[in-house]
Amino acid sequence: MDDISVVLASNRGPVSFTEGPDGFETKRGAGGLSGAVDPVARRLGERAVWICATNSDVDRAAAEDPDVVDRAGAELGYGLRMIDIPHETYARYYDVVSNRMLWFANHCLWDELDIHDFGADELAAWSEAYEPVNRRFAEEIAAVGDDRSLVLVQDYHLATTPRHLRELHPNQTILHFTHSSFCGPKGLAPLPDPLPRNIIEGMLGADLVGFHVHSWASGFMDCCEDIGAKVERDAGRVTQDGRTSWVRTYPIPVDPASLRERSQNASAQHWKERFANFRPDGGALIIRADRAEPSKNIVRGFEAYGMLLDRRPELLASTRFAACVYPSRASMPEYQRYMESIKEVVDQVDRRHPDAIHLFMEDDFDRTLAALTEYDILLVNPIMDGMNLVSKEGPCLNEHDGVLVLSTGAGSFEELGGHAIPIEDPLDVEETSRQLELALSLSPDERKRRASGLRDAAQARKPGDWIGPQLEDLRAIRSSGEPVTSL
Ligand code: G6P
């Protein structure tokens, strides 16, 4: 990778700022994306610049002084730029468009959340906030890179940045990578015109459009067909207005060595002991660990456990459910309501079956690592999920031949499904409760066999396997017009 320079662009950056007694301090950026991209940038060092948005008032204050941001970049070992976006614009770009319209579209959550129409406010948020922010990103990328730089644009917050950048630099080599699921035409259809077309055309401004797994690549190609682009599915080639974009999958791996190392620290060890004590003697500990997020389907997971205990109350003596569910996107009413529903369903189950579920609701990564080390059953039942790293991290860390109960809606099902207890329809509480029951009934030998298969599958791809092929494909596209990987 010696001869390349890379510009990375994402909404959340590698760090955010807090105010300490001696001025601004940095803390690690939240979310899976920054954890995945940061090692890439570190490896590239001076040849990488990461452009992100200010995500809070403290970020905005820090970004006023370029030295503060430069110093944070120097500590990270690569270039860092923060685009200062005023609070009001940010709320419309992030809450209204990115998280309400695009996230729900990518996960087909319209029926789930009973959202069926959009009005003038949403359209205005698109044209007055989302598009200007995406254009700002394109301008900043054009300013820091040159025609030879490889540009890696991340996620649905920046769906139209590739097209804006293409207008500024027609010969730029651009990747757009979606970290979430991509449901397809059914997801985009409820959005007001011209958004569905603008989103797909925006992404097609890139030479390479990346997803974690085939289902999402396929959903995207369905949308390309819908807007009249020529789609060669087997080749993963989309042609529109005389330009070609390649669609590829790059399933994101986890880094077991660094997870294991972190799980040794004092706080994780303390939690490990607590979870071990929480397991009934000779019984089973059921764990879930997620952001409080409607697409993660947390409420139905608890309902399913409640239904299982209703059917077989004697299981209360030999099972416990502990959940690490931390708040997310708390400024949005849908997420506030979801947090409430989680608490309500846990109360309901606990009223019927005292102390059956223990709910932890603060973001504590050490506690989550400990829970993953200790589970007998890990429940991962999303409606749709780009990859779901927890389902990979769990099998790498677990010390109890734990069983993974995994919904087919998780991207990781493509790699792990053969060793998991599947949930075919994550909306079906009855099926989920039956699959939990099945997981509880497996013999020690069967558990061992599955756990070892899961561990191998979850570790089959190494950390560098995610970005390496993306950069190789981009380089090949830049020199010969075609990627080296196939779909
Ligand atoms: C998903 C997205 C990421 C994002 C994360 C947390 O995984 O794909 O881009 O980092 O959610 O969401 P947030 O809104 O807190 O950035």
pLDDT for 92 beyond 90: yes
> 227 or 34: which carries more pLDDT confidence?
227
Q: 290: Cβ below 6 Å to ligand 1? A: no
Determine the pLDDT at residue 2: 64
What string of DSSP letters covers 175-186?
Answer: EEE--S----HH
d(CA 396, CA 468): 22
Run of H or E including 201: helix 195-203
Q: 163: Cβ below 6 Å to ligand 1? A: no
Provide, rounded to the nearest whole percent, the portion of the chain with pLDDT above 90: 91
- What's the mean per-residue pLDDT of the chain? 95
Q: 181: Cβ below 6 Å to ligand 1? A: no
CA-CA-CA-CA torsion sign (427, 428, 429, 435): negative
Distance from the alpha carbon of residue 97 to the mean position of ligand 1, in angstroms:
14
pLDDT for 432 beyond 70: yes
Determine the pLDDT at residue 35: 80
Per-residue pLDDT tens digits for 388-407: 999 999 999 999 999 999 99
- Closest residue CA from atom 13 of ligand 1: 31
Query: Once rounded to an integer, what is the mean pLDDT over residues 105-131?
Result: 95
Run of H or E including 121: helix 120-125
> Is the CB of residue 397 less than 8 Å from the CB of residue 260?
yes
Strand, coil or helix: what is 80? strand
Q: 12: Cβ below 6 Å to ligand 1? A: yes
Confidence category of residue 1, pLDDT binned at 50, 70, 90: low
d(CA 63, CA 26): 12
Closest CA to 471 of 245, 210, 144: 210
Instruction: Give the lowest-confidence range in 36-45, 145-154, 266-275.
Output: 36-45
Closest CA to 436 of 276, 296, 319: 319
Distance from the alpha carbon of residue 99 to the mean position of ligand 1, in angstroms:
9
Q: 329: Cβ below 6 Å to ligand 1? A: yes
pLDDT for 29 beyond 90: no
> Is the CB of residue 221 less than 8 Å from the CB of residue 433?
no
pLDDT for 39 beyond 90: no
Which atom of ligand 1 approaches the CA of 94 most closely? 14
> Is the CB of residue 179 less than 8 Å from the CB of residue 12?
no
pLDDT for 3 beyond 80: no
Determine the pLDDT at residue 40: 84
Distance from the alpha carbon of residue 283 to the mean position of ligand 1, in angstroms:
35
pLDDT for 31 beyond 90: no
In b/e form, how buried is each residue of 377-414, taking b as 16+ CB within 10 angstroms?
A: bbbbbbbbbbbbbbbbbbbbbbebbbbbbbbbbbbbbb
Closest CA to 79 of 60, 106, 52: 52
- Closest residue CA from atom 14 of ligand 1: 329
Q: Number of C-alpha atoms within 13 angstroms, CB side, residue 227? A: 25
Q: 33: Cβ below 6 Å to ligand 1? A: yes
